Structure formats: C-alpha cells, structure tokens
A and B are shown apart, each in its own frame.
Chain A
Amino acid sequence: MPRALDTLALTGICGVLLVAFYYQFALDELPCPLCALQRVGFIIAGVGLLLNLRAGYSPAHYGLVLLTSVVAGSASLRQIALHVVPGSGSYGSALFGFHFYTWAFVGYGALVVYTGVALLLEGNRPARDLAHDVSRGRSPIAAAVCWLFVALTAANMLAFALECGLGPCPDNPTSYLWWPRGD
C-alpha cells in the first residue's frame, strides 16, 4: 500500500509540473527565479519518492522530501509575502482563485503531511514486508509514472536553459534567452 501511495504522490508531482509547463508554453507565462526554485523543490521531492519506488524504501528518502519541501515551501512563502500587501500586484495568472506560488505552498504542506503519514505507516511494518515493495514499485503503472517524471525533469532542464542560459534568470523575465520566437 505505501508504494501505491508513493506512486500516487509522484503522479501528483508530475501533474504539477505538467500544469506549470502548460502555463509556460501554451499561455506564454515565463517562470521567475522564485518560481524556478519552487519547481526544483517538486523535482527533488519526486526524486525521494522515485528512490522509494526504484531502490527500495528508506526513511532517508522521505528525509530528502521533507528537506526540499521546507526549503522550497519557504521560497513560495517569500513570494506570497512579496504580494501580500494590497496594491503590490501579483506574478502570473491565478488558478481557482490562487496564484501558483500559493498553490506551491499548499503543495509542499501536503507533501510534509504525506511524508509524516507514510513514515507512520512504514514504521509499524515488519522488514520482510518492505522487501516486497521494490517489486511493486516496478509495476507497469509505477514504471510509467517514474519514466514520465524523469522525462519532465529533463524537459524542465531544457526549458530553463532556453530561458536563462547558464547564468541567473532575470527577476522579471519577458523572453527566452536562447529561443528567439520572433514575437
């Protein structure tokens, strides 16, 4: 069961990255530096879950999820704080009434809660049960989700290389550095 939950959580992270891509390329909303930091957080949290599915369960993997959730959650909180004062504007469009940095903060909170629940569930299981989990993590559905996640990490790397090149991203990006689109 916990490996199925890890697969579900990794699917959620893939969904977050896909929505971010949709807004970036279909609606032409370029991510800012703090947005990039939040995306890295989801990627590293996904790596922690991926490790559980592919290399076997370890509390250390959930530790990686927790650490990156706290750091990237702080980045989203920083961005929320930038816009909390009335009249200070916002960055990007809203989804269901909240901007993406607010959703990212909710997402990292959910990851912290999920990690706590998963550790509670795993902590009471005998070690021999955990050994079977690696094979469950190699089920066709889990494997498809894992490969989708790896493909999305590669796509993010390319997208940010196009936007920022090898240097720091501009504070308020309006075009791609390495992708002249002719508009």
Chain B
Amino acid sequence: MVLPFVMGWLAALLAMSGFRTGAMRVGLATVLIQVWWLVYHATDKLAVTL
C-alpha cells in the first residue's frame, strides 16, 4: 500500500517549503491511515512468518 508513503513524501515536501498547516494536515491524515492499517493488520489472519 503506497498511499501513506505518497502522503508522507507530500508532507515532507510541504514541511520543507515551510507550509506548516498543509504539512500538519497531511501528516495527521497519514497517522489516521496508519491507525486504520494497524487495526486491519492487528485483527486479520496473518501468516505466522510475519
């Protein structure tokens, strides 16, 4: 799933350019995706080799 990496890159570019509000919004949205992703992987049937 490449979406959080795209958002992380976008947030880094915004932060680098000094766009504080934009970078914070994209960063927080990425954290929300992280939470969803974590819930998914903490509850689905994972191969034990993970």
Residues of A bordering B, CB below 8 Å: 32-34, 36-37, 39-41, 43-44, 46-48, 50-51, 54-56, 58, 60-61, 64, 67-68, 71-72, 74-75, 78-79, 82, 88-89, 91, 146-147, 149-150, 153-154, 156-157, 160-161, 164-169, 171-172
Main secondary structure of the interface of B (DSSP, over half): helix
In the complex, are the beta carbons of A44 and B8 less than 8 A apart? yes
Q: Give B8-26 interface residues, CB cut-off 8 Å to A.
A: 8-9, 11-13, 15-20, 23-24
Contact (Cβ within 8 A) A160 B5: yes
Report whether A41 and B49 are in contact in the complex, using a CB–CB cutoff of 8 Å.
Answer: no
Given A67-B31, A157-B2, residue A51 in contact with residue B48 (CB < 8 A)? no
By the criterion CB–CB under 8 Å, are B23 and A51 in contact? yes
Q: Which listed residue, A34, A60, A150, A168, touches B50 by the CB 8 Å rule? A: A34
Contacts of A150 in B (CB 8 A): 9, 12-13, 16
Across the interface, B38 reaches (CB within 8 A) one of A75, A157, A171, namely: A75
Which residues on A sit within 8 Å (CB–CB) of B15? Answer: 47, 50-51, 54-55
Point out the residue from A50, A161, A171 that lies within 8 Å of B2, measured CB to CB.
Answer: A161
Contact residue range for chain B?
Answer: 20 to 34
Given contacts A37-B38, A51-B24, A161-B5, could you give 5 more A-B pairs where the C-beta distance is less than 8 Å?
A33-B1, A71-B38, A154-B9, A167-B1, A171-B50
Give chain B's interface residues, CB within 8 Å of chain A.
Answer: 1-2, 4-6, 8-9, 11-13, 15-20, 23-24, 27-28, 30-31, 34-35, 37-38, 41-42, 46-50
**CB-CB under 8 A for A50 and B16, given A40-B30, A82-B50, A153-B8:** yes
- From known contacts A34-B41, A43-B5, A153-B9, infer whether A68 and B34 are also in contact, taking CB-CB under 8 Å: yes
Residues on A with C-beta less than 8 A from B13 are: 150
